[in-house]
Structure 1
Amino acid sequence: MLKPHYYIGLPEWRHPDWYAEGKNPKEPLKIYSQHFSTVEGNTTFYALPNPDTVQAWDESVPDGFRFCFKFPKAITHEAMLQYCSNEVGEYLNRLSPLGDKLGVLWLQMSSAFTPDQLSALQRFLENLPEGFNYGIEVRNIGFFAKDDLQKRFNQLLLKHNINRVMFDTRVLFANPAPDADSQRALVEKPRLPMHVVATGDYPMLRFMSPMDLGLSEVALDQWANKTIQWMDEGKTPYVFFHTPYKAPVPDLAQRFSKKVAKLRADIDPITLWERQPQQT
């Protein structure tokens, strides 16, 4: 895979409903990485992989692929970024054999982490080892107030070249659906304002669509234009796609990639493996 102008991926690299009947691959990560250039890594939120697993991941993907692993919850949710240098070191040391295949390593904070804890965040960022790209997603409404605290937060991220992760759930909440997966997402996912800001060199967007992908067309157009703008500014965006039930999410990503390709002739849209027919 050629080095992309932006990275595009999904929350995971396998799902049973992503493949045509009888086409479930024996090496799902290898197949996934032939079509997508990055993946969110949620497993590290719960437990670190063993060294053999890290080596297997490394051997399964091409050089241009990027893993974006989430920091462990022991750091973000339990320690709340305080007194956790050993845990940070263990996390980075475990993943460092992946080398250049590491993308944005990101902190997903709970809503309990507030702007009142900016001093803890500042100390944490000042002590992060160099040589990695970092991001942070905040979920407390106080970080979206357009006041001095939010300004200080963004300036802190700018100072340390930390990417503010944007999670766009607006279309999901604007179009509530009655199915169980959508209802669960409406309860579990954050409903927050969308502040489009690039505080680092690798803007990171997480976009969640309703199950009816057509409802996201306008938003995808807007994000495609923003992605092009970031690239024109010399940044390298990471864009990830979500749906309440993951079956159609590869198709959502492909829709977006086609929109970007229409705007930039030098960027090809992604292709997909043989898929189950999707009712979207």
Structure 2
Amino acid sequence: MKFGKLQNIESVDFTLPVDPVGNAALLASFPKDEQPMAVYVGCTGWSMKEWIGRWYPKGTKIKDFLSVYAKQFNTIELNTTHYRIPDPDLVAKWCSQVPDDFRFCPKLPQTISHSKNLGLGGDQLPFFWEALDNFGEKLGSCFMQLPPYYGIDRLPQLAQFLSVWPKDFPLAVEFRHESWFAATANITEWTEVLTRYGTTVVLTDVAGRRDVLHQHLTNQQTMIRFVGNGLHPTDYDRIHAWVRQLAAWKELGLKTVYFFPHEPDNILAPDLAHYLVQYLHETTSITTRGPDPISTGPQQGDQILLF
């Protein structure tokens, strides 16, 4: 993930923003239930030969990568759908290789998210909805990454898009253009629209664009895209802060979290995912499952695993 990456992070303030006042009121507006918070932790792909011997057993074949990945993680940021809408047979094959608690988070095709009209009136949206239906209960939250040039002046178009998006398919939207965060009034405007349609807003924690880490919630679900810096010590400090934030949101009524750690080339992403899950279990009442290393020798990410 190159968006917002910096070569030098020494001057970056990685402190999480103060929790917006509206989050507590929003979560309080939903009916109370006893269901525990569901936390899904995953990476952006399963085809990583570099994980063999560390996260995948030695000798793992390429054809078995997904099934092995799904034993380590319970979700995936499914980027392949950004470039091609999968046919029913491929989706069925994917779903057959993962356990019942696994959730796919398909990225919207660029023919939709990067088109002039977000696919409205064309054939790509219905085609994609058909594909999503094939995931069944293993569908997590879809994810639409708006292009960097898509500004808040196009909010009416986005609202129209959300009004036709099927309610059976949870959706998260990531804003990148600076205008979405340029003024309090702008934030108020889009949070109202996304809340109205039950749409999640993505929180992106990346060094070079601290404005996209806005901390606003728009329903009982959040999606966090965390961009690390090669397991720099600040990566672990930031994880500590996120665990405290998730624990606070859990008490307020947040129900679902999708957390996707990114690292350079994603080779070290499982190390950070492992640390996140271990720290959650060690310091909070939140439970989930995450990767456990297969190898026992010292690794780059092990030096700070004692907390």
Q: Output the TM-score relative to the length of structure 1.
A: 0.86
Please say if 1:205 is aligned against 2:224: yes
Which has the higher mean CA deviation after the structures are superposed, 241-250 or 72-81? 72-81
CA gap of 1:82–1:118, structure 2 versus 1, over 3 A, is farther
State the Cα distance separating 1:162 from its structure 2 match: 0.5
Q: Does the 8 Å contact 1:37/1:66 carry over to 2?
A: yes
Q: Pick the aligned partner of 2:75 from 38, 42, 66.
A: 38
Match of 1:252 among 256, 263, 272: 272
Secondary structure at the counterpart of residue 14 of structure 1: coil
* Structure 2 spans left out of the alignment, 5+ residues: 1-35, 302-307
- Report the alpha carbon displacement of residue 268 of structure 1 after superposing the two structures with TM: 5.5
Q: Which amino acid aligns with 2:287?
A: I
Q: Tell me how far 1:33 sits from its aligned partner.
A: 1.0
1:147: how far off? 2.6
Does residue 27 of structure 2 align to residue 24 of structure 1? no
Instruction: Give, in whole Å, the separation in 2 of the partners of 1:210 and 1:4.
Output: 28
Q: Distance in 1 between matches of 2:115 and 2:174?
A: 16
1:216 is matched with which residue: 219, 232, 235?
235
Give the CA deviation at 1:277: 5.8
Q: Structure 2 CA distance, aligned partners of 1:12 and 1:68?
A: 11
- Aligned runs of 1:1-280 on 2, under 5 Å? 5-20=38-53, 22-25=58-61, 26-81=63-118, 83-170=120-207, 173=208, 192-232=211-251, 233-265=253-285, 267=287, 270-275=290-295, 278-280=299-301
Rate the CA distance shift 1:207–1:121 in 2: closer, same or farther, 3 A.
Answer: same
Distance 1:234 1:268 in 2: 15
Q: Deviations over 1:101-132 (max 9, x none)?
A: 10111110011110000110111111112211
Residues 141 and 192 in structure 1, CA contact (< 8 A), matched pair in contact too: yes
Cα distance change of structure 1 residues 14 and 274 upon mapping to structure 2, 3 Å threshold = farther
Deviations 1:55-105 (A, max 9, x none): 101100111110000111011112342534521111010121111110111
Distance 1:215 1:164 in 2: 25
Task: Work out the CA distance in 1 between the residues paired with 2:218 and 2:83.
Answer: 27
User: How many Å separate the matches in 2 of 1:169 and 1:24?
Assistant: 33
Q: Is the 8 A contact 1:162 1:200 kept in 2?
A: yes
Instruction: Count residues with an aligned counterpart.
Output: 260
In structure 1, what is the Cα distance between the partners aligned to 2:43 and 2:200?
A: 18
Distance 1:254 1:32 in 2: 13
Distance in 2 of aligned mates of 1:34 and 1:44: 22
SS at match of 1:231: helix
* Identity fraction in percent: 28
CA-CA distance at 1:16 after TM superposition: 1.1
Tell me the distance in 1 between the aligned counterparts of 2:65 and 2:249: 31
Q: Is the 8 A contact 1:254 1:269 kept in 2?
A: no
Q: Residues of 2 paired with 1:212 and 1:266: CA distance?
A: 23
- With 63-72 and 76-85 compared, the bigger mean Cα shift is at 76-85
Mean Cα deviation higher: 261-270 or 152-161 = 261-270
With normalisation by structure 2, the TM-score equals: 0.79
Q: Quick check: 1:33–1:61 contact (8 Å CA) kept in 2?
A: yes
Q: What SS does the aligned partner of 1:222 have?
A: helix
